[in-house]
């Protein structure tokens, strides 16, 4: 077997192992990979993000397990991502990148979130919210976007906000829109 085929076999075995590991997860759960591009002091732990993601999946009635990545970014990276992907030259609180798999490829990938730590902390302070509650809200908001929810139209916005509020209430967090 050539090195190239060995790598391909190893990659396939790794994908199969990951897929079977995900299949063993309970309904509405996820493998959540959190990366910090900023110092972690004062930021939520990966276990918090895991809990918030799973609450969003359950709240959205997603039955099958999934996998997603969350990257906590600084203002410069948040601004660059928002500019490059949305054409808006400022850092925003959360960006959602749903998985776009080629036809015929079936993987449990949901997508990726980029959450801008300085923006989240600034907004929480400006809005008089606990930072932890705002992190939870924006994580849930981002996951719902990954699942296809949107707030472009008024009716969509009302439905998405109501779902967010229900999910957050289940976590003991007050209505962020009140």
The answer on pLDDT for 3 being more than 80 is no
Cα 36 to the center of its chain, rounded Å: 13
The answer on pLDDT for 162 being more than 80 is yes
Cα 13 to the center of its chain, rounded Å: 26
What does pTM read for this prediction? 0.85
- What CA dihedral angle connects 157, 161, 167 and 168, to 10 degrees? 150
pLDDT in tens, 79-98: 999 999 999 999 999 999 99
Q: Which of 103, 106, 100, 94 is nearest to 137 (CA)?
A: 94
The C-alpha atoms of residue 37 and residue 64 are separated, in whole angstroms, by: 30
Query: What average pLDDT does the chain have?
Result: 88
Domain chopping of the chain, boundaries: 28-170
- Taking domain 28-170, whether its CATH number is 3.40.630.30 is answered by no
When pLDDT is averaged across residues 66-89 and rounded to a whole number, the result is 97
């Amino acid at each position: 077997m050539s090195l190239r085929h060995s790598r391909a076999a190893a990659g396939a075995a790794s994908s199969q192992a990951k897929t079977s590991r995900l299949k063993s997860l309970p309904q509405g759960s996820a493998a959540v990979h959190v990366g910090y591009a900023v110092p972690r002091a004062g930021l939520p732990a990966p276990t918090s993000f895991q809990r918030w993601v799973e609450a969003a999946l359950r709240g959205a009635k997603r039955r099958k397990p999934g996998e997603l990545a969350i990257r906590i970014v600084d203002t410069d990276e948040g601004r660059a991502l928002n500019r490059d992907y949305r054409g808006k030259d400022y850092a925003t609180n959360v960006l959602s990148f749903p998985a776009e798999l080629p036809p015929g490829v079936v993987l449990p990938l949901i997508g990726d979130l980029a959450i801008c730590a300085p923006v989240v902390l600034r907004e929480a302070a400006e809005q008089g919210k606990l930072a932890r509650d705002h992190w939870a809200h924006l994580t849930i908001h981002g996951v719902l976007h990954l699942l296809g929810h949107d707030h472009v139209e008024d009716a969509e916005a009302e439905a998405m906000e109501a779902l967010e509020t229900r999910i957050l209430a289940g976590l003991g967090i007050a209505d962020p829109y009140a």
